[in-house]
Structure 1
Amino acid sequence: MTYADVSSLAASNDFSGVISVSRGDSVEFAEAYGFAHRGYGIPNELDTRFAIASGTKGLTALAVMSLVADGTLSLSTTARSLLGDDLPLIDSAVTVEHLLAHRSGIGDYFDEDAGGDINDYVLPVPVHALATTSDFLAVLDGFPTKFAPGTDLSYCNGGYVVLALIAERASGIPFHDLVLSRVCKPANMSDTEFLRSDSLPGRTALGYLAATGLRTNVHHLPVRGNGDGGIYSTAADFRAFWPAFFSGRIVPPAVVAEMVRPRSSNSYLRCGLGFWMHLTRDVLQLEGYDAGVSFRSAHDPATGLTYTVISNTSDGAWPIARALNELLLDPSPSR
């Protein structure tokens, strides 16, 4: 497998998005494919912004941990202490650490373990009604606890919106602004922002449900993302992100070490606080998957290797990510 093979694979799979591979400050491979706007024939470029779905969770975790670092929160802070009477089905023992590590046991408003087609319409309220963190209270409530906090691992989207609520209430800063000031600015991620899907600016890709066709995801996802997903970013911003994270520019090195300490694992990956790690190697990754969105950014701190695959289709990133794993990392099989 070579970079030429990766490029051929992208072409044969009608890949739409950007592929980037770097080691330290040296970019080894970077190419853009497909269209940011198919109707007008606007091509994707290397600096095109894409939604990254659950890749956002790592940035949410860092915003929360920055509040832990400055003493505004602690890992043992309970969700209930800041939720008050909101979301009464969340167990009173659930802590910030449980939520960050996907070990809270709370019922999920979007339960990926339930299966189903990612392109289905899954939200119980109109997507345009979900623009602020507090708006999500309408979809988070009413889901029974799955297990006692801290006793198991279950990936939980809703838990990261709860974290956004906690961070917003503890700091007094709107969550979107908190991520920009506490994470994106110190990481020099100048193109990373929570944009509204119904008013996307230039140099930003629409999300498409399939490799061909004109149907976008605008009716499928919240109009503005939140703690569990939906920020827009670029491949270049993730080249900047990983060195900033490990050098302590976002949170102190001791906090970085705490975030990448595994709490549990599944058959593919180990889970830290907002980050996933290879089962046997210290390779980290962030990943996002939703209607019209697929994304993975992986980083090996020992070698400085970073690869990012960012696509504006639901499944476009996965064949490319598998090929890059084979070429660069050879980790355990994944999606």
Structure 2
Amino acid sequence: MFPDIDVESLDRFLSDAASRGEFSGTIRLSSGSRVLHEGAYGTASRRWNVPVLPGTRFDVASITKLFTSVAVLQQVDAGTLSLDSPIGRFVALEGTRIDPEITIGQLLAHTSGIGDDADEEAGESYEDLWTDRPTYSVTQTADFLPQFVHKEPNFAPGAGCRYCNCGYILAGLALEAVTGTSYRDYVREHVFAAAGMEDSGFFSMRDAVPNVAEGWDPVRDETGTVVSWRQNIFSYPPIGSPDGGAHATAADLVRFLDAVRDGKLLSAESTAAFLSPQVKHSDLDAGELHYGYGLEFRLGSSGGVRSFYKDGINAGASAFLGYYPEADVTLALVSNSEDGAWGPLRQITALLQSG
């Protein structure tokens, strides 16, 4: 059952972190229809000193992959795609290092083996991709292809498991091919609107959109003291894509996961597939980490699912969306700095596990 969380202490912890400049963002902690805690903290724009409000929209980075996965599974339900469909049927890959027989399911479960544009598991920096290429040149899904299609594969399709952003770029291109619409337009209509995510969208850094947080990260001197703040406008493309960059409120993220769990977005079969681990990624201190079709699953030593979640991190953005089955609690946490979400997440996780 859900532990008796001291909400006042949690609010005080988050407020203190915000006062130190360590956290700007929003949180929603819920159990079923009951909101256990919701709060807004810190600054949405450091340039203009605009405070964060509950309705502030944040870049949720790789949590966007969940929207992509649901969109693809909707087309599986519609019969236009299959998890066994080869990607070469939908994307022209001649002259590249991408095996056209890689399946949609392998792309979603990180078992395709393709080389990533920035290999996170190898410690490569996504921000470094834009040293020689202007971020504003990449606004459509196909614009990402030159960044990874000629890279050496890490393993044969299905022979391993390695986190890969660009698998979701290819899955997004397959979605566009079978629907005849852009990735962003499809997700707006069939995921956001269908889930009641009225405040979510894809907002360009170049547009004046209300209630959208700016991304900022601290610049520190040799002693670790923050001497200034740097905005993330040159750190990645100006608008979201199938692997990251959608904007949402914490409340909308909870609505999304609730809608999936309630069977409102997918068939019963696809809902079960989305909410189930598909492949083991690695061992943990007490259990295992498995990947699903976007979600990640922490299994206990007895094999039961202790939590499933997706996190996201980028320059000027960090976010977490997860569900804890034993407590029946959903947590959404969003922040407009790269390190902002993780201290609060550790604190909240400790509270969730204390009961």
- Does TM, normalized by the shorter one, top 0.5? yes
The structure-2 alpha-carbon separation of the partners of 1:86 and 1:229, relative to structure 1 and needing over 3 Å to count, comes to farther
* Bigger mean CA deviation after superposition, 87-96 or 43-52: 87-96
Which TM-score applies when normalising by structure 1?
Answer: 0.93
Cα RMSD (Å) of the superposition?
Answer: 2.0
Contact preservation (8 Å) 1:49, 1:205: yes
Identity across matched positions, percent: 32
- Max Rg structure: 2
Deviation at 1:303, TM superposition (A): 5.0
1:94 alignment partner in structure 2:
102
Contact preservation (8 Å) 2:24, 2:340: yes
Structure 1 residue matching 2:129: 3-state secondary structure? coil
The structure-2 alpha-carbon separation of the partners of 1:308 and 1:198, relative to structure 1 and needing over 3 Å to count, comes to same
**Residue pairs, 1:270-285, within 5 angstroms:** 270-280=290-300, 281=305, 283-285=307-309
Q: Is residue 287 from structure 1 mapped to residue 303 from structure 2 by the alignment?
A: no
1:110 alignment partner in structure 2:
118
Contact preservation (8 Å) 1:210, 1:292: no
Deviation at 1:304, TM superposition (A): 3.9
Contact preservation (8 Å) 2:254, 2:330: yes
Taking the aligned partners of 1:329 and 1:289, their CA distance within structure 2 comes to 24
Please point out which of 269, 275, 280 is paired with 1:254. Answer: 269
Please point out which of 156, 160, 163 is paired with 1:155. Answer: 163
Could you list the per-position Cα deviations for residues 85-131 of structure 1 after superposition, in whole angstroms to 9, with x for gaps in the alignment? 4572111321000000000000000110121566x433352100111
1:50 alignment partner in structure 2:
58
1:239 alignment partner in structure 2:
254
Please point out which of 110, 121, 128 is paired with 1:121. Answer: 128
1:6 alignment partner in structure 2:
10
Count the aligned residue pairs. 330
Contact preservation (8 Å) 2:46, 2:216: no
**Residue pairs, 1:1-335, within 5 angstroms:** 2-10=6-14, 11-12=16-17, 14=21, 15-85=23-93, 88-116=96-124, 120-123=127-130, 124-210=132-218, 213-265=228-280, 266-268=282-284, 269-280=289-300, 281=305, 283-300=307-324, 304-329=328-353
The structure-2 alpha-carbon separation of the partners of 1:136 and 1:9, relative to structure 1 and needing over 3 Å to count, comes to same
Contact preservation (8 Å) 1:39, 1:214: no
Contact preservation (8 Å) 2:166, 2:243: yes
Structure 1 residue matching 2:200: 3-state secondary structure? coil
Which one-letter code corresponds to 1:121 in the other structure? D
Which one-letter code corresponds to 2:27 in the other structure? I
Which TM-score applies when normalising by structure 2?
Answer: 0.88
Which one-letter code corresponds to 1:122 in the other structure? L
Deviation at 1:302, TM superposition (A): 6.1
Contact preservation (8 Å) 2:115, 2:153: yes
Structure 1 residue matching 2:83: 3-state secondary structure? coil
